[in-house]
Structures are given as structure tokens and as C-alpha cells.
Amino acid sequence: MTASVMIPRMERQDKRLVDQLRPISFETGIAPNATASVLVTFGRTKVICAVTIEEDVPRWMKVQRVEGGWLTAEYSMLPYSTLDRKRRDITAGKLDGRSSEIQRLIGRSLRAAVDLGKIGQRTIWVDCDVLQADGGTRTASITGASVALAIAVNKLVAEGKLAESPMKRLVSAVSVGILEGEALLDLCYVEDKDAEVDMNLVMTDQGEFVEVQGSGEEAVFTADQMNRMLELGRKGLEEIAELQRQVIAEEDRPSAGALEGLSSFFGSGR
């Protein structure tokens, strides 16, 4: 009779289970001059996400007679956010390719969350500044910015500047990957840099995909491994969405009128 052998599961650097998120927190009101702001923390990764509402739209919208408003995002890593000082983009005279790609991702993700036709002739500026980087800065930025965006538009409704909330859904993001053959959720920097496969998932709180970014790092991956990463990502994003809803509900406590159209945020039992 052949004895079965138990293969130990991979031990992560921070002792988490393979399907366990890093500790996540949201601190609101971190930048008082913004319409809304959130300091989001994923483990040791910390990002300030601030939303500012401008009572105007880009020139291209006026020229093309596009109705409604616009949402755009900017992303930067502060020089002291990494172990070795990161040079500011301005010293190079241009935005580096990585920052440009990430801020486009943030903008795309958040535009999927809001009905731009309902915000009037306004521009929503979303600024994401990384205070400390330990992996997952883009996913933390999207997650925190979604909370700040919801709080900001709720303020416009409460002030009577909007008749109803333009928020259609919340969005959040998380990383998944394959390290030493094991699928992991929410990779920290050490895991991310050594991962054979790296994937970022952006989803709505209604379980819909907004974006999937994944690639092998000089490696390949199977359909089963991809399905396992998607499974882990869905689990993590459901947990994150619940945290987002709690923070928004505690921050805003909006009137009954402002609750219309926000059933996915409050009182839905989801």
C-alpha cells in the first residue's frame, strides 16, 4: 500500500494564506482641500487618492460638442516611496512610461463606475500619489480612488449640485500571480518581483470585469492556473468591495434622496 504524502503549501513572507489579502484600511479626509480624499493602505503600500471637481470640461469636449462631463486621473510615486529614491518625472522632462500606463488604467477603471452624462459640465480630477510602495500600487490606487469618487459625488448631491448620483457601481482592483507554481492573492513587492506570472484584476462590486492585465514573466501558464488566479481575485475583490461600502456609508450618511441609485453601495445586503 502506497502512503500518501502531504505537500506543504507555500509559506508566504508575511505568513498569509495563499487566498488572504493584506490588511486593508481607508482613512478619509486626508487632503482637506480636495472634494474628497482617502489614504488607502494595502499592507505596507500606502496611496493618497484625492478627487477634485472642476466646474468646466476639457476644450476637446467643447469643440466636439460632447455632452456631460469628464473624468481623468494622474498617478505618481513620491521620491521616498521606494527603498532607493525615485527621481521625480519632472526632472526627466516627461512622464515615465509606467506612470503613464497606470494613470490611464486608473482613469479607464473609474470611468466605468460613473455616468459622465449625469455630472454636468464638470471635470473630475483623480490624483493618486504613492507614499509607500510594497507592491500593488496601481490596484490600491484604483480601490482608494473609487471610494474617494463615491464620497465626492455624494457631496455634490447633498449640496444640491446634482439631482441624483452619477455613480453606477464601485470598482476595485487586486493583484494575483503564480510564484513557485502556487497561485497567490494580493502580491507584495517581494512576491511580485519573483512571480512567474503576474496579473491585475479590476472588477465592479457587481462581479463584472473592467480590465484584466496578465502576463508570464519569462514563463507560461495554463488555463487551470488562470482560472485559479481568477477565482482568488474574485474572492479578494468581493471582500474589498464590502470594505469600500462600509467606509462610504460611514463617511457620508446621505439623505434618503441621495441614496437613490446607490443600492449597490448601501442597504443592498450584498
- Binding-site entries: 98, 136-138
Using a 10 angstrom Cβ sphere, with 0-12 exposed, 13-18 middle and 19 or more buried, the burial of residue 140 is buried
> What is the maximum alpha-carbon separation in the chain?
79
| Integer Cα distance of 245 and 258 in angstroms | 15
Instruction: Beginning with the edge strand found earlier in the chain, give each strand of the sheet holding 45-54 in spatial order.
Output: 24-28, 36-42, 45-54, 123-132, 70-77
| Integer Cα distance of 177 and 164 in angstroms | 39
- Kindly report the number of other CB atoms within 10 A of residue 197's CB atom: 21
DSSP state of 44: T
Q: Which three cell numbers stand for residue 41?
A: 493602505
Angle at the Cα of 107 (from 101 to 113), degrees rounded to 5?
145
Across the chain, how many H-helices and E-strands are there?
6, 9
For 9, 11, 15, the CA distances from 6, given in Å and listed in that order, are: 9, 15, 19
Q: Which of 27, 16, 6 is nearest to 251 (CA)?
A: 27
**Which residues contribute to the annotated binding site for phosphate?**
98, 136-138
Q: Which helix (H) or strand (E) holds 214?
A: strand 209-216
Q: Do 185 and 176 meet the contact criterion of CB atoms below 8 Å apart?
A: yes
Q: Which three cell numbers stand for residue 22?
A: 493584506
